Structure 1
Amino acid sequence: MDNIDRNIINLVQAFGRATNAEIAGACGLSVSAANDRLKRLQERGAITGWSARVDPDAVDLGLLAFIFVEIDHTGHNERFIAAATLMPEVLELHHVTGEWSYLLKVRARDTKALETLITGRLKALPGVARSHTHIALSSAKDNGPLPVDVSGDD
């Protein structure tokens, strides 16, 4: 990956709807070269998909919570991961160090919906020993772009 690829990644993270002509102009490329680079970045997995950022309040998902989950035995990890990744409320799922096994970032309509998720679905999964939840009161920054460095070539 060179600096042009990094510039393209930074550009599409900031302006996902940029046209190939706009990307080409910003990176000093022809339109066909910009298109080829975008295709290669997708084929190599550097760009994993395209989506829109949606205001959670606009779709009635204003409650943001982080849930730590402890799995009692590593034999339950695969089943937990498989089940949790299918839950639409779970935006992120991270295997973490320390006393907890996993950290989940979730969105819910309200505390009642969060409670249903935790007690009715997460804690019902085999191997879930306990959980600890933090509710975010506000978010100064959420879903920022990755800081792709353009200072040097690989």
Structure 2
Amino acid sequence: MVKKYNAENEEEFQEQIIQIDDLDRKILKLITTNARIPFLEVARECGVSGAAIHQRVQRLLNLGVVTGSEFIVSPQKLGYNTCAYMGIYLEKASYDRKVVKQLREISEIVECHHTTGQYAIFIKIQTKTNKHLKKIIDTDLQAIDGISRTETFISLEQEFKRQIPIK
């Protein structure tokens, strides 16, 4: 029986390295290039039945190799023209969970990472303008107990973004 991946058992799945074969790799290359590709087209490309593709994709989902499909919203098309990264220093390491819980409430924070090095937490923020970013820093972030200081980097331009290679 294959144990299904879900948010509650994510750590358990992170520890496992899943073995995939050449057909799985070909499927992953096709569906990560175009998440909307019909399974029948994937089947034709792979030389197998549509049912086989459906079973393979379902297996990859259950194992947590693929965690879903999504539509990506362009922040710039919705007026979010400032992208910033921020390193967060905590007063104490024990404030970690409390701070992350409050960061989660700020909708402009689109990523949050626990890091090694000088910052305890590293976040990505999408705002409409630099002034909007300053307001979030001044009113929302500085109000969070446990944050001792922050360091902000504004991204001038994203050159590329990609998924890991399927080899």
| TM-score after normalising by structure 2 | 0.82
Which residue in 2 is equivalent to 1:36? Answer: 55
Which residue in 1 is equivalent to 2:164? Answer: 146
Q: Which one of 18, 26, 29 corresponds to residue 7 of structure 1?
A: 26
Does the 8 A contact of 1:14 with 1:145 survive in 2?
no
Distance 2:142 2:23 in 1: 47
Distance 1:83 1:22 in 2: 44
| Shift in alpha-carbon separation, 1:69–1:15, aligned structure 2, 3 A | same
Per mean C-alpha deviation after superposition, the further-off stretch among 52-61 and 130-139 is 52-61
Q: Which one of 150, 157, 161 corresponds to residue 131 of structure 1?
A: 150
Q: Which one of 26, 30, 38 corresponds to residue 19 of structure 1?
A: 38
| Shift in alpha-carbon separation, 1:147–1:123, aligned structure 2, 3 A | farther
Per mean C-alpha deviation after superposition, the further-off stretch among 92-101 and 47-56 is 47-56
Q: SS of the counterpart of 2:102?
A: helix
Residue 119 (structure 2) pairs with residue 108 (structure 1): no
Which residue in 1 is equivalent to 2:12? Answer: none
Deviation at 1:11, TM superposition (A): 1.6
| Shift in alpha-carbon separation, 1:3–1:88, aligned structure 2, 3 A | farther
Unaligned runs of at least 5 residues, structure 2 = 1-19
| TM-score after normalising by structure 1 | 0.88
Matches within 5 A, 1:24-103: 24-103=43-122
Deviation at 1:70, TM superposition (A): 0.6
Distance 1:82 1:10 in 2: 35
Distance 1:117 1:49 in 2: 31
CA RMSD of aligned residues (A): 1.5
Counting matched residue pairs gives 148
Deviation at 1:68, TM superposition (A): 0.6
Deviation at 1:102, TM superposition (A): 1.2
Q: SS of the counterpart of 1:129?
A: strand
| Shift in alpha-carbon separation, 1:23–1:85, aligned structure 2, 3 A | farther
Q: Which has the higher contact order (CA 8 A, sep 6+)?
A: 1
Q: What letter corresponds to residue 56 of structure 2 in structure 1?
A: R
Does the 8 A contact of 2:115 with 2:122 survive in 1?
yes
Distance 1:138 1:98 in 2: 25
Distance 1:28 1:80 in 2: 50
Unaligned runs of at least 5 residues, structure 1 = 150-154
